[in-house]
Amino acid sequence: MIYGIGTDIIQISRIEAALARNGDRFAQRILGPEEYAKYLRRRGKVAVRGIRFLATRFAAKEAFSKAIGLGMRMPMTWRGVQFLNAPSGRPIAVANGVLKEYMDNNGLSAQVTLTDEADYAVAFVIVEKNA
């Protein structure tokens, strides 16, 4: 059963400007440890790939916070959920800490899709309540 849906679109230049102002502290605030490592690898190869990666994860976390119905308040935090990839490449939501407990206690799981183009990153999340 669908518990909630959320979508978010972000102009990639906004993420680029935040990085210019705050450096990697901005990325560290938004990304979980595995996401941050992947961001550094992508940025190390081609800077714009790192920026786009960060933009998609920012959008995904915003969309997830809407779908779960909490917004950005406990137990939802920027680093409380990471958007990683299954071996097939499909993006997956991986909650941790108190957010994982909240999701487990409420029988919730999430499906996510991410995309980016030259100017925008978009995320769509469906949170399901398991029967």
**Total Cβ atoms within 10 A of residue 10:** 20
- Residue-wise pLDDT tens digits, 37-47: 999 999 999 99
| b/e map 56-70, b = 16+ CB within 10 Å | bbbbbbbbbbbbbeb
Global confidence as pTM:
0.94
- Domain hosting 117: range is 2-129
Number of domains in the chain: 1
Q: What is the CATH number for 74?
A: 3.90.470.20
> For the segment 49-106, what is each residue's pLDDT rounded down to a tens digit?
999 999 999 999 999 999 999 988 899 999 999 999 999 999 999 999 999 999 999 9
Task: Return the closest-CA partner of residue 95 out of 56, 48, 127, 50.
Answer: 127
